[in-house]
Amino acid sequence: MEVLIIGGGIIGLSSAFYLQQAGYTVTVIDRTDMQQGCSYGNAGYICPSHFVPLATPGIVRQGLKWMLNAKSPFYIKPSLSRSMISWGWQFMKSATKEHVERAAVPLRDIALLSKRLYEEWTHIPGLDFSYDPQGMLELFNSEENAHHAEHTIKDAHALGIDARLIDRATLQQMEPDTAINALGAVYFPGDAQLYPNQLMHSLMTYLRSRGVQFRGKEEVTGFINEGNRVKGVRTATNVYAADHIVVAAGVWSRDLAKELQLKIPMVGGRGYSVTLEDAPYKVRHSVILSEARVAISPMNGNKIRFGGTMEITGLNAPPRMQRVEGILESVKRYFPAYDIPLPPADQVWFGYRPCSADGLPHIGNLERYPNVTVATGHSMLGISLGAATGKLVGELVTKAPVSMDIAPFKVERFS
Ligand SMILES: Cc1cc2nc3c(=O)[nH]c(=O)nc-3n(C[C@H](O)[C@H](O)[C@H](O)COP(=O)(O)OP(=O)(O)OC[C@H]3O[C@@H](n4cnc5c(N)ncnc54)[C@H](O)[C@@H]3O)c2cc1C
């Protein structure tokens, strides 16, 4: 049985991993050379602590304030495009306390499943991705966020997730290598960190060695349908036949879904990162700066990565270096010894998070075309939820019982 996976990001590759393991003949097709996309320059957090989706009560008001500042962590470019209006409408409808409560359990369950699977992957010869289960520190430096931290801890405990309030002195003991300017932190001992570039390269090499075929620099432009089956896909130069198709094309899945008469409201949430390959700066845990929404990731020895910004804008808009300046300036506010000059634009990475309207991924076989599986919309959590999503895709394609309840991820929920 031949499976064709559209998209060679983390979701496509982890799906390939489980499908190859199940004995299928797998081809991954991608419109790029699969070296730079969203699954590469991200912060690499495996974070069961992230059980709150992007759409929360208050985010709209806060977002409007942030929009007036070019260096702020969140920006939506006003647009009258249909896809933006449809996403914005569903996003606002989802920004409720009830939705946040409903989303928490499925987000927790898929994150815990994924973490367990990544831990299994660390034992597979040939797969290496600098997995580090040190936990994550979420720093705060405002009274408002100190108060918010207490709520976060209560909510985490209600979900069975370990979370601890850390005062300034303990924080400094946990991070002894540099002075930190923060009132305190929430420590999530159950979170982990990996080096995404290494994960992607290692997965690709591993999959190639197991016979998975890769077709780079070919863009899928349409599907070949017959009744309720999709028999293959079309690119500018080729036609690929397959028994089963997996759509794992990140934010671009939205346009492919349209070709399948399916509506997935989704936008690209652009984020930036700067990586120092041999850094004089050391942190021992993954760090989030709450007020600035910036992530600091120690990776693979001496590397350190600073990332952030959620910029909802066109997929071809030129990068805005002011946002990168905003990230680096906020790092300095919490870590006064960190002097990181703004690098030239060609040394700044950016990628588009596939932001679903309600902060939950879309994972499932299509009702109209049962031989098509969609796996997309992971927003800020594609790495964290990657291994579990691949596992679920494997189960959906092979018609095995699924490892968890996937009803909240129903692909057609906005169609
Ligand atoms: C700054 C930043 C920090 C982040 N930090 C984290 C983090 O710490 N933890 C976490 O879990 N997540 C994080 N994320 C989010 C995470 O990176 C994404 O959720 C994840 O990479 C999405 O993976 P994907 O496979 O769905 O999409 P992508 O990685 O975008 O892959 C989709 C692939 O499909 C291909 N494609 C698209 N259309 C077609 C077509 N028509 N034909 C062929 N190929 C096509 C694309 O070229 C692309 O390679 C972060 C993101 C950013 C920007």
pLDDT tens-digit series, residues 264-310: 999 999 999 999 999 999 999 999 999 999 999 999 889 999 999 99
Cα(376) to ligand 1 centroid in Å equals 9
380: Cβ below 6 Å to ligand 1?
yes
Q: Which atom of ligand 1 is nearest to the CA of 251?
A: 30
Is ligand 1 within 6 A of the CB of residue 353?
yes
Per-residue pLDDT, averaged over 122-147, amounts to: 96
Q: State the Cα–Cα distance between residues 93 and 358, nearest whole angstrom.
A: 8
Nearest 10 degrees: Cα torsion 149, 186, 166, 298: -150
Model confidence at 72, in pLDDT bands (50, 70, 90)? confident
For residue 230, the model assigns a pLDDT of: 98
Residue 350 is predicted with a pLDDT of 97
Q: Is the CB of 232 under 6 A from ligand 1?
A: no
Using the predicted structure, report yes or no on whether residue 70 has a pLDDT greater than 90. no
- Residue 27 is predicted with a pLDDT of 98
**% of the chain exceeding 70 in pLDDT:** 99
**Domains of the chain and CATH, by start:** 2-409 (3.50.50.60)
Q: How far is the CA of 377 from the centre of ligand 1 (A)?
A: 9
pLDDT of residue 301: 85
- Which residue has the least CA distance to atom 4 on ligand 1? 42
Is 271 a pocket residue for ligand 1 (Cβ < 6 Å)? yes
User: pLDDT: is 66 or 303 the higher one?
Assistant: 303
* pLDDT exceeds 90 at position 51: yes
- Let me know the angle formed at the C-alpha of 60 by 56 and 64, rounded to the nearest 5 degrees: 150
| Dist. CA 155–CA 159, nearest whole Å | 7
Q: What pLDDT does 60 receive? A: 73
- Residue 356 CA, ligand 1 centroid: distance in Å: 13
pLDDT at 323: 93
